[in-house]
C-alpha cells in the first residue's frame, strides 16, 4: 500500500470518529505497533555477530533515535551501537520505517492498530566510505572525531530534508549524514566541557581516568531541531563528571543535567540547567514543540512490573539561565542566581488510563517524534522503545493523540526544497 493511501486511510478513519466524539481526553493512546525482535533488514549483511546469536542484519535498537520525515506515515530511525554493549562489530545504519494503520474499535484507547515495517536500510560510513561501527575495538583514545566507533542516540532531519543530524554518545559528537548515501558529511562543534580526554573501550576506565566530560554511556542521548531548522538542541543523559555526577565509588549522585543549544549558522552556544526528579533517573530524548518549548523523556532503568517512572515532560527554556560559563555545578542544589528550565508533567506512560503498564512494559523508552496532524487538529505523538537487540523482545511504537489545546504553541518542522 503506498504512503498516500496509508495517510488517507488514517486521516479518514480518525476524522470520522473525532467528528462525533465531543469528550475525547486531552491525550489519547490511539494504539500501538511493534516490529519483531527477529525481523531482518535490507542491509545485505550475512552471518552472525561476535555474540554468536545476533544476525548482522537483525532489526533492533532503533527506538533510540526516531524522527518524522514530514511525509505521510514515514519515519526514519537509527539503531544504537548494537548488541553486547559495544562488544560486537555491528555496522551502524539508518532505517526508513513506514507505518500502516487500521481502525479496530470506536475512538478511544487502542482504537487503531499500527503496523510498522522497515522499508529501507542505509549503512553509515565516514567521509572516506569506511563503515561506522558500534564496536569498542574501533575507539580512538585521542577522542578524535575520525574514530570509527559510533553510538547513535538521536536523529533529526535537516531543513532541506536531504540530510540527518545524528548525536553520538561516545563523544559526544554531532554529525550530519547524507540520506541518499549514508556518508557522513560534517561535524557540529560542541562545548569542550562535554568531552572526556581519556577515551577507553572500558566504561570503568573512562570513569576512573577522567575528571570532566560526560559519564561513560551517559552522553548526548537526546537531540531536537528547531522548527525552522536553524538550531540543534542536545540533551545530556545525566550530569557531567565535573557537575557532581559521581560519588567516590562512582555511584550516580547528581540530579542535574545540561541542555545545549547550537545555532548552526554561527556556532553560537547556550546551555540550560535541567533538574532530574531523582538521581536514579536519566534523560533519553528531546523533541521541539516550537523554538523554546520541548518534550523530554525522563525515566527510571526498570522494566515490566518493576517500572515506576516513565514520563514525558514539557519544558520551556524562555527565562532560563544560560549556564555555559559555569564550569562546575553542584550535585543537587541549583546554584544561586540560576533559573532552570520550566518543567511540567505532560504524559505518564504508566498511567492506568493507557493500560500500558505491566509485565511487558519495556525498560528503554527512548524515542519521540510528532507525526501528521489529524483533521480534528490533534497532534500525533509517537513514542518508541529500544529492545537492545534481544530477539525475544519487540521494538514498540506507542501512538498518542494530543489535543491542540495542550500544545498551543506547536509549530511543525519546516522541510523545504533547497535545490
**In the prediction, which pLDDT does 78 show?**
97
Confidence of residue 375 (pLDDT cuts 50, 70, 90): confident
pLDDT of 19 over the 60 cut: no
> What's the average model confidence in pLDDT over 330-347?
95
Among 14-28, 315-329, 398-412, the range scoring the smallest mean pLDDT is 14-28
Q: Is 182 left (phi over 0), alpha (psi -120 to 50) or beta?
A: left
Rounded to an integer, what is the distance from CA 295 to the centroid of its chain? 11
pLDDT tens-digit readout, 177-228: 999 999 999 999 999 999 988 888 888 888 888 999 999 888 999 999 999 9
Query: What are the phi and psi torsion angles at 159 (to 5°)?
Result: -65, -20
Contact status, residue 335 vs residue 320, Cβ threshold 8 Å: no
pLDDT of 287 over the 60 cut: yes
pLDDT tens-digit readout, 149-170: 999 999 999 999 999 999 999 8
Rounded to the nearest integer, the mean pLDDT of the chain is 90
| SS3 letters across the chain | CCHHHHHHHHHHHHHHHHCCCCCCCCEEEEEEEEECCCCECCCCCCCECCCCCCECCECCCHHHCEEECCCCCEEEECCCCCCHHHCCCCECEEEEEEEEEEECCCCCCCCEEEEEEEEEEEECECCCCCECECCHHHCCCCCCCCCCECCEEEEEECCCCCEEEEEECCCCEEEEEECCCCEEEEEECCCHHHCCCCCCCCHHHHHHHCCCCCECCECEEEEEECCCCCEEEEEECCCCHHHCCECCCCCECCCEEEEEEEECCCCCEEEEEEECCCCCCEEEEEEECCCCEEEEEEECCCCHHHCCCEEEEEEECCCCCCCCCCCCCCCCCCCCCCCCCEEEEEEECCCCCCCCCCCCCCCCEEEEEEEEECCCCCEEEEEEECCCCCCCCCEEEEEEEECHHHCCCCCCCCCCCCC
**In the prediction, which pLDDT does 137 show?**
81
> What's the average model confidence in pLDDT over 11-36?
61
> What's the average model confidence in pLDDT over 246-260?
94
pLDDT tens-digit readout, 68-104: 999 889 999 999 999 988 889 999 999 999 999 999 9
pLDDT of 411 over the 90 cut: yes
> What's the average model confidence in pLDDT over 287-304?
98
Confidence of residue 138 (pLDDT cuts 50, 70, 90): confident
Identify the residue whose cell numbers are 585521542: 142
CA distance linking residue 246 with residue 30, whole number of Å: 41
Confidence of residue 23 (pLDDT cuts 50, 70, 90): very low
pLDDT greater at residue 203 or residue 417: 203
**In the prediction, which pLDDT does 374 show?**
86
pLDDT of 364 over the 60 cut: yes
**In the prediction, which pLDDT does 26 show?**
83
pLDDT of 127 over the 50 cut: yes
**In the prediction, which pLDDT does 416 show?**
80
Percent of all residues in the chain with a pLDDT value above 90, rounded to a whole number:
79
**In the prediction, which pLDDT does 92 show?**
97
**In the prediction, which pLDDT does 142 show?**
59
Amino acid at each position: 500500500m503506498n504512503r498516500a493511501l496509508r495517510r488517507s486511510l488514517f486521516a479518514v478513519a480518525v476524522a470520522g470518529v473525532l467528528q462525533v466524539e465531543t469528550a475525547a481526553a486531552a491525550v489519547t493512546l490511539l494504539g500501538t505497533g511493534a516490529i519483531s525482535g527477529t525481523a531482518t533488514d535490507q542491509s545485505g549483511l550475512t552471518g552472525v555477530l561476535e555474540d554468536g546469536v545476533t544476525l548482522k542484519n537483525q532489526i533492533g535498537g532503533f527506538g533510540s533515535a526516531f524522527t518524522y520525515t514530514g511525509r505521510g506515515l514515514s519515519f526514519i530511525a537509527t539503531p544504537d551501537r548494537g548488541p553486547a554493549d559495544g562488544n560486537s562489530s555491528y555496522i551502524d545504519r539508518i532505517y526508513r520505517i513506514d507505518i500502516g494503520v487500521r481502525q479496530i474499535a470506536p475512538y478511544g484507547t487502542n482504537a487503531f492498530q499500527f503496523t510498522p515495517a522497515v522499508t529501507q536500510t542505509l549503512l553509515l560510513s565516514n567521509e572516506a566510505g569506511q563503515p561506522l561501527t558500534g564496536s569498542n575495538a574501533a575507539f580512538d583514545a585521542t577522542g578524535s572525531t575520525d574514530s570509527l566507533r559510533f553510538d547513535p542516540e538521536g536523529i533529526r532531519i535537516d531543513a532541506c530534508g536531504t540530510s540527518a543530524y545524528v548525536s553520538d554518545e561516545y563523544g559526544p559528537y554531532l554529525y550530519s549524514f547524507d540520506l541518499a548515501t549514508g556518508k557522513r558529511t560534517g561535524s557540529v562543534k560542541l562545548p569542550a566541557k562535554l568531552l572526556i580526554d581519556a577515551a577507553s573501550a572500558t566504561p570503568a576506565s573512562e570513569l576512573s581516568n577522567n575528571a570532566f566530560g560526560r559519564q561513560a554511556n551517559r552522553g548526548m542521548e537526546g537531540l531536537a531541531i528547531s522548527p525552522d531548522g536553524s538550531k540543534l538542541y542536545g540533551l545530556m543523559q545525566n550530569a557531567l563528571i565535573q557537575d557532581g555526577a559521581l560519588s567516590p565509588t562512582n555511584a550516580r549522585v547528581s540530579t542535574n543535567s545540561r541542555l545545549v543549544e547550537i545555532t548552526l549558522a554561527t556556532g553560537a552556544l547556550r546551555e540550560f540547567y535541567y533538574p532530574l526528579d531523582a538521581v536514579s533517573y536519566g534523560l533519553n530524548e528531546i523533541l521541539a514543540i516550537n523554538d523554546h518549548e520541548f518534550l523530554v523523556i525522563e525515566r527510571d532503568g526498570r522494566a515490566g512490573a518493576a517500572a515506576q517512572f516513565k514520563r514525558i515532560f514539557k519544558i520551556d527554556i524562555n527565562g532560563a539561565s544560560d549556564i555555559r560559563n559555569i564550569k562546575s555545578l553542584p550535585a543537587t542544589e541549583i546554584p544561586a542566581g540560576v533559573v532552570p528550565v520550566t518543567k511540567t508533567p505532560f504524559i505518564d506512560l504508566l498511567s492506568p488510563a493507557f493500560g500500558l503498564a505491566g509485565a511487558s512494559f519495556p525498560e528503554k523508552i527512548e524515542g519521540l517524534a510528532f507525526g501528521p496532524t489529524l483533521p480534528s487538529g490533534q497532534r500525533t505523538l509517537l513514542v518508541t522503545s529500544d529492545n537492545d537487540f534481544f530477539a525475544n523482545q519487540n521494538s514498540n511504537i506507542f501512538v498518542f493523540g494530543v489535543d491542540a489545546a495542550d500544545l498551543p504553541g506547536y509549530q511543525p518542522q519546516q522541510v523545504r526544497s533547497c535545490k
